[in-house]
Structure 1
């Protein structure tokens, strides 16, 4: 089970008008994902990065049967839920909240926001899709009300089938998210400058 361990950077919450929650990938760290902010147009954001226990949000592939990734997955989603609820309690609206994740962190990001759809400031998923051996439509409810979402991925990718990315984008669009999806041929499991540029243009510079 995950302990709530949030690393912060950027503006102080008392001074920021926007908050970016950054979710690291398998084997990564909060500090590592925070370092990505140097390349993002987020100078006026408060940055929050939860740290997964043992550096992993859930033990198996994101397309493994859901039960295999429990209770870690539910615990990881609870960390995000608690973080968002605390920000709301401090006076932030959903529209002031932004989310970004890479790989396992992108999957967790997409799973959380789609289970809790609202008009967020924006969502960036660098190589990820909704979690499960299949799409569990009953888990997803709410209305994104035009929330801008950028999803970038490679085809092929060693961890994330492009078919799941397409299916994820379609579900988000059905829930009224403004999704931009870019599939890069043979990009590899990484984050490219073009993805950074798209995130800045579509999400952070709004």
Structure 2
């Protein structure tokens, strides 16, 4: 098990009613993803951003066979699971725990919630899809009970094929998630004001 630093911002966990777990992309860091928070309706949330060792959660593309990304992938998913346990131990219910990730962090976000489907507060994936050389549906279980999810991505995106975004949306919807998917033509590998607006409307409302 790797040791991960957790960068904390927003409200103290013990005082907050809601928590947002924010997951950075490859080559970035926890402070980078936290810099989005002022643009989101999360002023009263505790913010928790784990920092990946060497700024990457797993070494290969998210489209590689999962075994090629082990043990890093399992370790990263375990970090998110431990964060959820910590947040719940502070008295915040699952319905008030939210997730957000960009790029590699968006892939990790979607993979984690699909493997642990529940009625969390909601999830935002800025440019990402479920992980693997194909969709491993047997890994995914649970019921989202209409949990809101926003997925935004570019067509094309150099890292994330739009078809994987569509496949991921279908899986999440089949598990009871209320998914809003927005595909932007030629957006590039970034986060736009429009995506932020949709995330606020659909998830952080």
Asked if TM exceeds 0.5, the reply is: yes
Instruction: Give the secondary-structure state (helix, strand or coil) at the position aligned to 2:203.
Output: helix
- Whether contact under 8 Å (1:148, 1:177) holds in the other structure is yes
The aligned residue for residue 203 of structure 1 is 203
- Whether contact under 8 Å (1:2, 1:52) holds in the other structure is no
Q: Show structure 2 runs of 5+ residues with no match.
A: none
- Whether contact under 8 Å (2:14, 2:90) holds in the other structure is no
Q: Which moved more, 1:79-88 or 1:144-153?
A: 79-88
The aligned residue for residue 22 of structure 1 is 22
Q: Show structure 1 runs of 5+ residues with no match.
A: none
Tell me the CA shift for residue 148 of structure 1.
0.1
Q: Which moved more, 1:134-143 or 1:89-98?
A: 89-98
The aligned residue for residue 154 of structure 1 is 154
Aligned length: 205
Instruction: Give the secondary-structure state (helix, strand or coil) at the position aligned to 1:182.
Output: strand
Tell me the CA shift for residue 161 of structure 1.
0.3
- Whether contact under 8 Å (2:9, 2:47) holds in the other structure is yes
- Whether contact under 8 Å (1:102, 1:127) holds in the other structure is yes
Q: Which moved more, 1:86-95 or 1:122-131?
A: 86-95
- Whether contact under 8 Å (1:107, 1:129) holds in the other structure is yes
Q: Which moved more, 1:1-10 or 1:143-152?
A: 1-10
Q: CA separation in 2, counterparts of 1:15 and 1:201? A: 25
Tell me the CA shift for residue 151 of structure 1.
0.1
Instruction: Give the secondary-structure state (helix, strand or coil) at the position aligned to 2:138.
Output: helix
Instruction: Give the secondary-structure state (helix, strand or coil) at the position aligned to 1:75.
Output: helix
Q: What's the RMSD between the two structures over aligned residues? A: 0.7
Q: CA separation in 1, counterparts of 2:91 and 2:8? A: 18
- Stretches (4+) displaced over 6 A: none
The aligned residue for residue 99 of structure 1 is 99
The answer to whether structure 1 residue 7 and structure 2 residue 7 are counterparts is yes
